[in-house]
């Protein structure tokens, strides 16, 4: 059995939805349930092609965060793509489990909207998780909440594996009428159309070309004696501004280069090197281009995080100190 998890939040450190998903995934690991998580914020340019990932799934979890109103644009885009390009015959056999966590108001309305959307797509529903979280730390440390989520994860497995039947809904009749007025496409035509609508193919080709050029020029630099492993170390060291009575460690994962930059700061002492570490106060993930923009003053760590170009977990205050330690702008 394989379950697809689609996370529609922004990936910020304090999003309690991520904690709920992590707990569910831990239970799945324990009971040996295969799963794949798709972080929609990382796949902005290819959301229209994601309905094709439903082909090999036995069930889906749609997880989203309510930060001010509704469940956000990424999840809405994904559901729109399912309606326009998804294989309705496949969706009709997929149980959907909603996970909606709110840090403001409206989690019940968002849960209902997701359920209604999936019913209109023709898919069956399972019992989901819906909660309001005022303090993320208190929520994560509450053992009773953890036990409840773990129990729910077990029920998700039973619902999908046993294909628990539900009573008929009027949404089915509405869905039939809506489908009649929409464009009729075969699953193959829908898949092809979704690829044309998405710019992902073009972007992917551009990235491959850039990587090939980067590899070529890096090879040229290596031939002239330039050590590519010191990249970013010199500008970070030069720009370092000590902070009194401050101590922290950072791991910056440069995803497209498969490198990990470790930074340790203690008052006016700075240690920085490309190396893997087991832990750090803040773990950040970003691309080579984003870090290059930061060290050249075109972007700050804080702005990169707020715009989603950099994801991070750990102490939020410690993360914000990066711009004071390294004031490039």
Domain that residue 204 falls in: 199-226
- Distance in angstroms (rounded) separating the CA atoms of residues 171 and 121: 9
Q: What is the pLDDT of residue 266?
A: 92
pLDDT at 217 over 70: no
130, 278: one domain: no
Q: Which residue among 211, 226, 241 closes a domain?
A: 226
151, 284: one domain: no
pLDDT tens for each residue of 219-268 = 555 454 444 457 788 899 999 999 989 999 999 999 888 889 999 999 99
Q: How confident is the model at residue 186 (pLDDT cuts 50, 70, 90)?
A: low
Q: How confident is the model at residue 154 (pLDDT cuts 50, 70, 90)?
A: very high
287, 312: one domain: yes
Domain count, the chain: 3
56, 84: one domain: yes
Q: What is the pLDDT of residue 229?
A: 59
**Residue 36 · residue 24 · CB < 8 Å:** no
3-state secondary structure 27-61: HHHHCCCEEEEEEHHHCHHHHHHHHHHHHHCCEEE
Please state the rounded mean pLDDT for residues 57-72.
91
Longest CA–CA span in the chain (Å) reads 72
Query: In angstroms, how far is the first alpha carbon of the chain from the final one?
Result: 50
CA–CA distance from 168 to each of 116, 119, 122, 299 (Å)?
A: 13, 10, 11, 53
CATH code of the domain covering residue 281: 3.30.1050.10
- Distance in angstroms (rounded) separating the CA atoms of residues 306 and 292: 17
Q: How many CB atoms lie within 10 A of CB 319?
A: 22
101, 250: one domain: no
DSSP 55-95: GG-SEEEEEEEESSSSS-HHHHHHHHHHHHHS-HHHHTT-E
62, 112: one domain: yes
75, 166: one domain: yes
Q: What is the DSSP letter of 184?
A: P
153, 77: one domain: yes
Report the range of poorest mean pLDDT among 181-190, 200-209, 264-273, 303-312. 181-190
- Tell me the pTM: 0.57
219, 285: one domain: no
CATH code of the domain covering residue 47: 3.40.50.360
185, 68: one domain: yes
Please state the rounded mean pLDDT for residues 77-105.
93
Residue with tokens 């290819």: 46
For β-strands 129-132 and 95-102, DSSP reports them as parallel
51, 166: one domain: yes
270, 221: one domain: no
Find the angle CA(270)-CA(271)-CA(274) to the nearest 5 degrees: 140
pLDDT at 181 over 50: no
């Amino acid at each position: 059995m394989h379950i697809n998890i689609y996370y529609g939040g922004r990936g910020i450190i304090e999003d309690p939805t991520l904690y709920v998903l992590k707990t569910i995934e831990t239970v799945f690991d324990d009971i040996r349930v295969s799963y794949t998580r798709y972080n929609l914020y990382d796949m902005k340019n290819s959301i229209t092609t994601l309905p094709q990932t439903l082909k090999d799934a036995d069930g889906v979890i749609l997880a989203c965060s309510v930060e001010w109103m509704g469940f956000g644009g990424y999840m809405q885009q994904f559901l729109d793509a399912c309606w326009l390009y998804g294989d309705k015959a496949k969706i009709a056999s997929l149980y959907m489990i909603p996970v909606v966590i709110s840090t403001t108001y409206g989690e019940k309305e968002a849960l209902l909207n997701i359920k209604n959307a999936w019913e209109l797509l023709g898919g069956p529903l399972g019992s989901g998780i819906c909660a309001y979280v005022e303090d993320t730390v208190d929520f994560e440390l509450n053992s009773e909440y953890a036990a409840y989520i773990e129990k729910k994860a077990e029920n998700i497995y039973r619902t999908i594996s046993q294909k628990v039947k539900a009573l008929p809904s009027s949404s089915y009749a509405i869905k039939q009428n809506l489908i009649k007025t929409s464009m009729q496409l075969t699953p193959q035509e829908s898949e092809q159309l979704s690829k044309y609508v998405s710019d992902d193919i073009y972007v992917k080709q551009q990235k491959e070309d850039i990587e090939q050029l980067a590899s070529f020029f890096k090879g040229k630099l290596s031939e002239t004696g330039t050590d590519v492993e010191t990249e970013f170390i010199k500008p970070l060291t030069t720009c370092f501004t000590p902070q009194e009575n401050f101590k922290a460690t950072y791991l910056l994962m440069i995803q497209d280069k498969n490198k990990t930059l470790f930074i340790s700061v203690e008052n006016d002492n700075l240690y920085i090197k490309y190396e893997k570490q087991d832990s750090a106060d803040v773990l950040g993930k970003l691309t080579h281009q984003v870090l290059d923009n930061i060290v050249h003053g075109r972007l700050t760590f804080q702005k990169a995080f707020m715009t989603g170009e950099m994801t991070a977990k750990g102490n939020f205050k410690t993360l914000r100190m990066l711009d004071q330690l390294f004031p490039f702008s």
